Structure 1
Amino acid sequence: IVCNGVRGVFQTARMDVLMQDGRVVSPTEFERLAGKGSSKKWKVSLRVMKANGAPGVTMQDWLVDHGLEAPRSRTPLSVAASNLDAVRRRQNASMLRRAARAAGLGGDQDEEGGGSGRGSRSHRPSCMCIICKQARARGDTWQGMNGGDAGSAMVNVFPKGAAARSLQLHQQRQRGPGLR
């Protein structure tokens, strides 16, 4: 194995490391002696050395691949956090579609049955990509902003009046307090 340029031999039966000078140390001690003492996760910082001397897979991956350790499963907290993010993205998209419809801009293609099931290839009214930013700065739009093809007429997809204010308030609520 290798860690930060320091080499050793990992002994799987005892789960310790034989250093080049003959000392036997724990993986955590080997990590510390290699200058990675603050890492605290030896299974990630220790790597299996390839035949050419370059660092290879992590010890954690190697132990899992050889059946010496079970793969790590996601924690309930990380699963809940990703589910919450997905719900928030769906709610945000739904509110933006409603705001666009209220402004008379129409809905997405898939909602009207004209889509292929993959969703529309258009940018949201609040898109912050450089192309949309430049178009807004010029006061116009481009095809991707309204989901049209190259031959379609350009229409302003940004809500006006009450719908614009509603969208602005929604975006401020999404950013949270102190970020306005």
Structure 2
Amino acid sequence: MLAEELSRRLPEAVLFDPEYVGYLLRHWVPAPTGDFQDLPSWRELVIATALSLRKHHAGTLIAPMTLINDNYLAEILDGLRVGGEEVLHVFLDLDPAVLRQRITDRVLVPNDPERDQQGRDFCLRNLDRGIAAAARVPPGTLLLRSDKLTPDELADEVLTRLQGLSG
């Protein structure tokens, strides 16, 4: 919801969801662990796609993605920075019970109940890892409580931080 609100407020921005890179890769390469983030190709392609989108299409790129593996997060953030990008990393933290309920209530694949449930199950299996990641965010990360702020308020916080970076 934050990404959509930022996209609404920044109409010139491109909303790039790295999960779609993973969905594409699934057609060619199985992820042995079941998580496409474990594929080196996914991480490389996310960086390359983000850099290409910025170069050719976007002054601002919004990329909603949960990266709970510290090494993968560092690899992607470092790759973007080496590519000349200034990155504002935002981590949305919340109460575990609220997160569990949001995952349970969410519809990921509306026309395919089986895949929809598989997606929810995957998220629930990784819930504890995601909660623990909040304690390990890299320096400079904007850490926000999404159970305490509305999407509008979250967007205000992100835009305020962005203004500070460019100002």
Smaller-chain TM-score range? under 0.3
Larger strand fraction of residues: 1
TM-score by length of structure 1 reads 0.24
Larger helix fraction of residues: 2
Quick one: higher RCO (CA 8 Å, sep 6+), 1 or 2?
2
